[in-house]
Amino acid sequence: MAGDRGGEPGGRPEDRPGRLSGIQPPPPPAAYEAINVYTRIIVDEALRRGIAVEITDPARGGLVLRQGGRAVRTFESLSELTSAVAFRICDDKGLTRDVLQRAGIPVAPGRRATFDAADVDFLGRQGELVVKPVRGEQGRGVTVGVTTPEELDRAREEARRWCADVLLERRCPGEDLRVLVIAAEVVAASVRRPAQVTGDGRHTVAELVDARSRARQEATDGASRIPLDDTTRRVVEAAGYKLDDVVEDGVVLAVRRTANLHTGGTIHDVTDELHPALGQAAVAVARAIDIPVVGVDLVADGADRPGFVVIEANEQPGLANHEPRPTAQRFLSLLFPRDRVSDATRGRVDLS
């Protein structure tokens, strides 16, 4: 497909195009210290390019970026270039499925929950389910690995706490992959893995989770933590432990089933290994939704293998999660195209 390329191996900021030689960037704007890492990466790149930055909503990442008479509003990586229709499609996971299916893009078998025997019949046919709110983010209300009617009841009620509409999908085996697409080009790809702890023969599961959670919070500027909730307890008990058990030295214990970064998941760059079919699929998702910036979530046989299903499309992906890939660079070039040509001539992820 034309345009199914993008991304470069990253590199240090001083190696990126668009810098004005000999001119120092302006000082950080007011409220700079109050913004999170996902907003800060955009602000830093904008200042480096001489783009004026006004922070309008530090808590939500609200910015107004100005250059050469052009002004663009953003909330982190969500900008006014994303239409209300594209936002709505991504925001409603059931609607996302409908749009992608009509475009011929593989999705996991699923249905909207009807809270009756039809849901139990669907579980019986699929064997293992993921249950999640139709609308929601950061993994809230999502239950992975539902196999019994009793678990289905609990999972539906948990999802319904966050949204009245609930989605049931087959749990597909494979790696949890996020592919970042900007302007119909793949810029970065990462495998996401659920939170886990390693035993030392001295500390309990709860203590190890607490220590790992604090480490994740520090590493992500507070964006990631592992909650000690019923979900963590159930995952730990499914592995044969209780929260107050001491884990043997060297034993690796998964404590969450979802790979969401906000609940302690980790991210590992696989941009250079990405199979062309996966990159092409992510670009196809962006085109089907008609969205300029999107994080496409897939379950794949492997980053370097062609088999996949699309799970979700995120209209506000975290650009900082893919450093040192040039995510903020490509985002600013989308908003202010002055550097687009020089960006396009640099290294790419070859999806041909």
Can you give the chain as a three-state secondary structure string? CCCCCECCCCCCHHHCCCCCCCCCCCCCCCCHHHCCHHHHHHHHHHHHCCCEEEEEECCCCEEEEEECCEEEEEECCEECCCCHHHHHHHHCHHHHHHHHHHCCCCECCEEECCCCHHHHHHHHHHCCEEEEECCCCCCCCCEEEECCHHHHHHHHHHHHCCCCCEEEEECCCCEEEEEEEECCEEEEEEEEECCEEECCCCCEHHHHHHHHHHHHHHHCCCCCCCCCCHHHHHHHHHCCCCCCCECCCCCEEECCCCCCHHHCCEEEECHHHCCHHHHHHHHHHHHHHCCCEEEEEEEECCCCCCCEEEEEEECCCCHHHHCCCCHHHHHHHHHCHHHHHHHHCCCCECCC
> Residue 341 has what pLDDT?
43
- Domains in the chain: how many in total? 3
Report pLDDT digits (tens) over 27-59.
889 899 999 999 999 999 999 999 999 999 999
Partners of residue 295 on adjacent β-strands: 180, 314
242 and 321 belong to one structural domain: no
pLDDT at 138: 76
How much of the chain, in percent, has pLDDT values that exceed 70?
88
How far is residue 313's CA from residue 103's CA, in Å, rounded to a whole number? 14
Give tens-digit pLDDT for 192-203.
888 888 999 999
Please state whether the predicted TM-score (pTM) of the whole model is above 0.75.
Answer: yes
- The enclosing domain of 114 has a CATH number of 3.30.1490.20
User: Which residue in this structure is represented by tokens 């001489």?
Assistant: 50
Query: Is pLDDT of 7 > 50?
Result: no
pLDDT at residue 255, as a whole number: 85
Q: Compute the average pLDDT of residues 327-349.
A: 72
What per-residue confidence (pLDDT) applies to 350? 59
Beta-strand relationship, 175-182 and 293-300:
antiparallel
pLDDT value at residue 352: 56
**Could you tell me the pLDDT band of residue 348, with boundaries at 50, 70 and 90?**
low
Sorting pLDDT into bands at 50, 70 and 90, what band is 163?
very high
pLDDT of 349: 61
Strand order in the sheet with 266-269: 266-269, 185-193, 175-182, 293-300, 308-314
- Of residues 30 and 14, more confidently modeled: 30
Q: Do residues 164 and 205 both lie within one domain?
A: no
- Host domain of residue 166: 109-171
* Judgement on whether residues 10 and 87 belong to the same structural domain of the protein: yes
Query: Among 212, 195, 194, which Cα is nearest to 203's?
Result: 212
301 in the same domain as 190: yes
pLDDT at 23: 57
Mean pLDDT of 73-91: 97
Sheet holding 78-79, edge to edge: 52-57, 62-67, 70-75, 78-79
49 & 140 share domain: no
Residues 85 and 223 in one domain: no
**Mean pLDDT, residues 140-152:** 92
Q: Indicate which CATH number applies to the domain containing 33.
A: 3.30.470.20
Claim to verify: residue 335 and residue 314 sit in the same structural domain? yes
Structure confidence at residue 17 as a pLDDT band (50, 70, 90): very low
Stronger pLDDT, 221 or 235, i.e. the higher one: 235
pLDDT category of residue 114 using cuts at 50, 70 and 90: very high
Same domain flag for 268 and 184: yes
pLDDT of 101 higher than 60: yes
Q: Do 123 and 91 share a domain, yes or no?
A: no
- Indicate if the pLDDT at residue 344 is higher than 70: no
Query: Does position 190 have pLDDT exceeding 50, yes or no?
Result: yes
96 with 42, same domain? yes
Average pLDDT over residues 330-345: 72
Residues 37 and 183 reside in one and the same domain: yes
Asked if residue 129 has pLDDT above 60, the reply is yes
Whether residues 282 and 347 fall in one domain: yes
pLDDT, average across residues 242-259: 86
pLDDT band at 265 (very low <50, low <70, confident <90, very high): confident
List the single range of 9-18, 157-166, 219-228 with lowest mean pLDDT: 9-18
